Each structure stands twice: as structure tokens, then as C-alpha cells.
Structure 1
Amino acid sequence: MSEVLTKNIYEHFISSHQYEPLVIFSPGRINLIGEHTDYNNGYVLPAAIDKGIVAAIQKNGTLQQCNAIAYDLNESHQFELESIEPIENGGWRNYIIGVVEEVQKYGKMLSGFNIVFGGNIPNGAGMSSSAAVENSVVFGLNEIFELELTKEEMIRISQRAEHNFAKVKCGIMDQFASMFGIENHALMLDCKTMESKSTAIDFGDYQLLLINTNVKHSLTDSAYNDRREKCESIAKLLKKESLREVTKESLDSIKDRISGNTYKKGLYVIEENDRVLNTVKALESNNLEEVGNLLYQSHEGLQHQFEVSCEELDFLVDFTKNTDDVLGARMMGGGFGGCTINLIKTSAVCSISEKVENAYKQKFKKDCSIYNIALSNGTHKTTTL
């Protein structure tokens, strides 16, 4: 978490409203492995990171009037509690008002409040800035209005805001990782039961490095929803709740009743669930080479079976295969842009970073961006000290 960012958000709230706010830090997340499995009730292995959203929030003494300021964008939005509707192309506004409305639908009473928020999560990098914003709002509202919501209830509210206002039918992973993160741990989450197991992360001479393509292809949301519909169609045909209950054998039994494209999507999810479980075992036995192999396998599946990669992501993953200093890499997030996650030898970070930056620029005539990250605690109150 950036102390400078926290101080700036706090001071902007004071200068705008002339009274003290509550300050919340809500982290973004990485996902070590387990992509597109969460909305299929599968397994994922995310972790909260030290980049995220800082929100300053407090009641303003009115019954209805709310004021939100997006510090980074120098934009604001005013709304009243009794007349909230999704905003077409509303961007960040829908995350704020979506959470507020879902809290009210949950039967909790609110009054007017002010909020200022900003962050240091790179836009479009696949680190779930939207979930971090949503969690910061619901956590802040829970504190200042003493709503007595549990963290489980808060993340469900954040998820419903994403579904009903941002119109993205996301799973629960992003909100869960952002809310429940534990420093220096990943969370093996069962998205069906909501049970999680923390896994200590100690990569020894290796570390995680994110490389951002700095591209975000425009079909992401529609393609995301299309993939979800294909997965749900398989489960429905087999009279199962989700792909979590589908085995490869049962998928093969309907192979002649679905398209080849749909079959590939279902097979990817089944295999990716197995990869998550195998990655946890490899981490527990400190078998980093196997972790790396599973990362590469995951990318192969995302590229060729689930078909959510892109040329830039594939280039970055393929580039790492030319050195022994990278054990594994894959695309991370919904796809069609964003970051790759790389398990790389710490002593080689500088040299490999320079090489990949030069090669990427030569190939695509644009820059990639490289981020070191640390694993963080989840959404929490913080101070400006």
C-alpha cells in the first residue's frame, strides 16, 4: 500500500468536505492459477497484493445526498439513495452506486455520505481494480453505518453490484481475494462451498513478476459472458449445477451433442480445476519446477481451448521459455490483454526485464510494463500516519 496515495486521498477528502473520514485500503489481486473456474463453482488460487484502492468515506449529515470523487480521474458523481439506477457507460460510477443499491436491497438503512477514492492498480491489468473499489465501498459503509455485515455478506454484495450494474457476470474470486487476503499467502478457494485454505508462499530464490501487455481488446466483456454461457450449457445438458460436477468422462458422453468449440471450453475448465489442486500440492512440497510447469499448461489451455489469450500475451509467455531463470508463466485475468504472471529467479529480474521490454517494443511498437508485487492483507481500515 502506498503511503503517498493514502495521504493524498485523505487530504483531498479533508479539503473537499472539511471533516475527518474513515480510510480504507482494499487490495487488488493476482491469481496464481485457476482462470475462468470461479463462475463454474471450481477452484482458484488467488492472493491479495500491495496495490489497490484507498477510499476515504464518512457520513455527511443528509438523508439522501451522496457525493463520490474519483481522485485519479478528477471526476465526481452526485446521487440520491432513493433513485439509483445503472448508468449506461457509467464506468466507475456503477461500482459505487451498485454497491450502495445492493446494500439497500439487502435491507440495510443508509443515509447521505461522501467518498473519495483512488488507486495504484494499473488500469486494465487484470488485477481486479473493480472488486477493490466495490469492497472498499461496502467495507466503508459497513463501518460508518454500523451495518454488522459479515465479510461473506460484503463480498456477495460486491459481486451483485458487478452483475447488476457493471453487467459482468463474474464469479466470486476477485471480491473474495481482495477481502480475505493474508500477507505472504495465497488462498485456495473452493468457489462452490466458499471454503478456503491459506497456503504460505515462499518461493526462495524466485519471485512473482507481472508483465503488462498494456493492451485491452474491446471484446472482453462480451467474450467473457459468451464463455460463461457455453460452460453453463454443458452443465444444463448433463443436469448438473455447474461444471464443477462434470467429469471428463461425462463431458465425453455428450461430445456428439455439443459443438467442438463448446467441448474445448468445458474440457479446459475440468483440467484447470485439477491444475489448481496440483499447484497447491506442489507448493506444499516446495516443488517450484512443477508449479512452473502447471503455469505453462494453464496458459496453453487458455490460449488454445478457452481461447481468451491474444498475440501480445502469447508473445510474453513464449519469450520466457528461452531462459532457465523463468520456471513458468501464463496470462492472468479474463483475457484478451492485461498481464502475464511469471515465476522468475530474483537475481535475473533486471536482466530479463530489460530483454523482454526491448523484444516487446520491437515486436509491437509499444511498451510493456513490469510490476513487482508483494502479497498483502485483505480490505481493512488504515491510517494516514
Structure 2
Amino acid sequence: MTATNDATTIAQRFRETFGADPDGVWQAPGRVNLIGEHTDYNEGFVLPFAIDKTAKVALRLRADSNVRLLSTFGGHGLVEASLDGLEPGTGQGWTHYPLGVAWALRERGVDVPGFDVLLDSDVPSGAGLSSSHAIECAVITALNELTGAGLAAEDLVLVTQRAENIFVGAPTGIMDQSASLRGAKGHAVFLDCRDQHVELVPFDAEASGLVLLVIDTKVSHSHADGGYASRRASCELGAQVLGVRALRDVGVEDLEEAAGVLDETTLRRVRHVVTENDRVLQTVELLGSQGPASIGQLLDASHASMRDDFEISCPELDLAVDTSKEHGAIGARMTGGGFGGSAIALTPVGLQQQVRDGVVRAFAGAGFTEPDIFAVTPAAGALRLA
């Protein structure tokens, strides 16, 4: 089976699999982070947007505590589990995410019964577009409605974060699920990760004669591995040594003093977060005053900081960024947690084919796997389809 965007077809597949109609069909989008990388768990600022690629779930509550899970992509086939005695780490592959959400809701005191769920997603996996959070947000939106829990979006964000951190074992912040749950068509989500305050910032690249290209390098990454965790630990160490609650509380003007008390590696990690927070604020200001065509240099500076100070890029990401700019992109950067995944390139519409062709040729010349390149636009957040 292959992915489909048709809620009716998904419901029909659910009936064929589980022998009954679903209680409904819900979807939640993946996200692209325009700017603000690894600032979220430092209580800083981020500027993602929900994209027009989504995870859809057909879901039906059960009268017992059993869960049956199936994806249209097959893989593990039908997976069965019980919510009774469910422990962190339970599940396999994508099933970690719906099971983690159910576990975290129960931890929150929500009476979650068993359920049957069919997943259908066209968010590329491992591309840094938050395919896992799209699954979690679709499932939690369904369960929040069907159980009558009535949790606000801010609460759903924290429950999915707990599912990620404790159940899945990935020390992620709140950016991805905030974009997926709180996104709006034609807008980026300016999020203050300290208090979850959100402002929707217009981001209409097309009206400015631009397109935002995603370049999926096909280098897979996992947030549950050591690279992400070690970066987070460095940030926590930096905040502790500098005597602040979080790196959010360190300004660009404080970096010179920080250089006198931090080791070289920790200083570079801190410098990335501090300057990245500043770049997010500048980007929001420029989008409001001058529009998307004005932010190219900030995207470039963000990538350089992630490459050199945070050291989370890779040769494929660097080649995608550099080649995009050589062929006409006005700004480009890696997006997502790093160590693989995708780059974004803000490109004049008339030059997008030139950028696409240039990147594909460069990857072939370097002996890399051919990348997937596609345009994304800001889309609506999680919602019920049927």
C-alpha cells in the first residue's frame, strides 16, 4: 500500500483491516524550521512552520485496553500491544509514537482506553521534517477529542514532549509539536519556548517571487542517538557555569565574558545558541518589515553556526547549502536536529529548476545518494478530517 491524501480511502482501509468504521480521521503536519535550531530546549526562540505534508490516522476507541496499530507502509505489519503495564521503550518502529502518546496521556490522568489505529503519512521519514511528531500530534488530537479530555494545545505540546523524552527516549524540546499543533496556513509560528507564547508571522514566499525548497539528503538521523544528547548536555553545562537558568538568558554581548570561563567546545555550543536566538528575533522583525526576500543572509549565518560552532552538519548538508547558493538561492541552511536530514533553500521562483539541477549534479559528482527536492508552503496545524 502507498500513502494517500484521501480521508475516505483511509477510512475504507481501516474498515478492511479492523472490520468496523473508525471514529474519525485526523491529520497533523510535519514541519520545516525556518530558523532557530537547538534553541528550543534552551528556553529560546524558534520560527518553524507546518508544511503541506501530513500524517493521517484513522482511529477507533476499543472497550478494552488493547491497541492494534498498522501503517499503510507495512514494515512491521499489524502490531498489537496493551496499555496495561505499558512501559517506556515499548513498541517497534513508528508504533513508539502512538503508544508513547497514550502512555503520556494516562500519566497525565486522562482515561485512555485501547484503540485501533491506521497510519498513513507522506512526511518523509528521517528527513528532519519531524515525521515522528506528526504521528504523535495526529494521534493525540484524536485521543484528546474522543476521550473528552479537552486539553488545550499548550498542554498537548507538553504531553507529546513527555512521550518523546521519557517513552521514546529522545531529549527533544517543544518546537516540532508546537508547529504541528499550532500552525496556520501562510504563517510561520514564532514560539517563545520558555512560556509557549506564540505569534503567527506571515510568511508568503510566493507573493515575494520566492519558493522554499527542501533538499532531503537521504542521510538518515535519529534524535535518540548520542549526538543530540551530547549537544544538549553541553548547553546545560554552559548555563550552569554561567549561572543562568537557561542559555536563553545569555545575550550576544555576554559571549566575550563567557569565553573566559568556558572550555572551547562548550563556548562554541553556547555561542551557537545565543547567536541563533538573536537571528530568530532578527528574522521575525525583517519578515514583518521587509518580507521573505530580506532574510537570506540570516539563513546563511545560521547554517555556518550549526556547521562550525554546533558541529551538527554533514558533507551532504554542506554541499546542498553551498550548491543552492551557487545556483541562485538567496539563502540556505540545514534544518532540523542535524547529523543528516534536510536543507532548505529560499530561491527565486525563476531559478528553482536551476537550483534543483545543480544540487542533483553536485550530489552525483560527489558520489552521494540522489536527494529528493520539493517545495513546501506553510499549512494548517492538526485537525479532524472526517
Bin of the TM-score, shorter chain as denominator length? over 0.9
Answer yes or no: is the 8 Å Cα contact 1:361–1:368 preserved in 2.
Answer: no
> What per-residue deviation string (whole Å, max 9, x for no partner) do you get for residues 18-61 of structure 1?
3221100100000100011001001100000110100001112x
Say which of 64, 75, 79 aligns to 1:77: 79
Residue 121 of structure 1: aligned partner: 123
State the 1:120 CA deviation: 0.3
Residue 268 of structure 2: aligned partner: 264
Q: Does residue 130 in structure 1 map to residue 114 in structure 2?
A: no
**Cα separation, 1, equivalents of 2:12 and 2:137:** 21
Residue 295 of structure 1: aligned partner: 299
Answer yes or no: is the 8 Å Cα contact 1:5–1:119 preserved in 2.
Answer: no
SS in 1 for 2:341: strand
**Cα separation, 2, equivalents of 1:116 and 1:101:** 18
SS in 1 for 2:50: strand
**Cα separation, 1, equivalents of 2:56 and 2:378:** 17
Residue 289 of structure 2: aligned partner: 285
Answer yes or no: is the 8 Å Cα contact 2:35–2:302 preserved in 1.
Answer: yes
State the 1:229 CA deviation: 0.5
**Cα separation, 1, equivalents of 2:119 and 2:302:** 35
Unmatched tracts of structure 2, length 5 or more: none
Unmatched tracts of structure 1, length 5 or more: none
**Cα separation, 2, equivalents of 1:218 and 1:64:** 30
Q: Does residue 326 in structure 1 map to residue 329 in structure 2?
A: yes
Amino acid of the structure 1 residue aligned with 2:66: Q
Question: Could you tell me the TM-score, scaled by structure 2's length?
Answer: 0.94
SS in 1 for 2:330: strand
Amino acid of the structure 2 residue aligned with 1:268: H
Residue 311 of structure 2: aligned partner: 307
Amino acid of the structure 2 residue aligned with 1:339: S
Q: Pairwise mapping of residues 210-221 of structure 1 onto structure 2 (< 5 A)?
A: 210-216=214-220, 221=225
Amino acid of the structure 2 residue aligned with 1:106: R
Question: Could you tell me the TM-score, scaled by structure 1's length?
Answer: 0.94
Residue 33 of structure 1: aligned partner: 35
> What per-residue deviation string (whole Å, max 9, x for no partner) do you get for residues 130-175 of structure 1?
1111111111111111111111111111110000121111010000
Q: Pairwise mapping of residues 66-215 of structure 1 onto structure 2 (< 5 A)?
A: 66-74=67-75, 75-87=77-89, 90-203=92-205, 204-215=208-219
**Cα separation, 2, equivalents of 1:180 and 1:219:** 22
Q: Does residue 339 in structure 1 map to residue 330 in structure 2?
A: no
Spell out structure 1 runs of 4+ moving beyond 6 A. Answer: none
Q: Pairwise mapping of residues 51-62 of structure 1 onto structure 2 (< 5 A)?
A: 51-60=53-62, 62=63
**Cα separation, 2, equivalents of 1:304 and 1:8:** 47
Residue 276 of structure 1: aligned partner: 280
**Cα separation, 2, equivalents of 1:14 and 1:90:** 24
Answer yes or no: is the 8 Å Cα contact 1:38–1:171 preserved in 2.
Answer: yes
Cα 1:373–1:252 shift into 2, 3 Å: same
SS in 1 for 2:326: coil
Count of matched residue positions in the alignment of Structure 1 and Structure 2 = 380
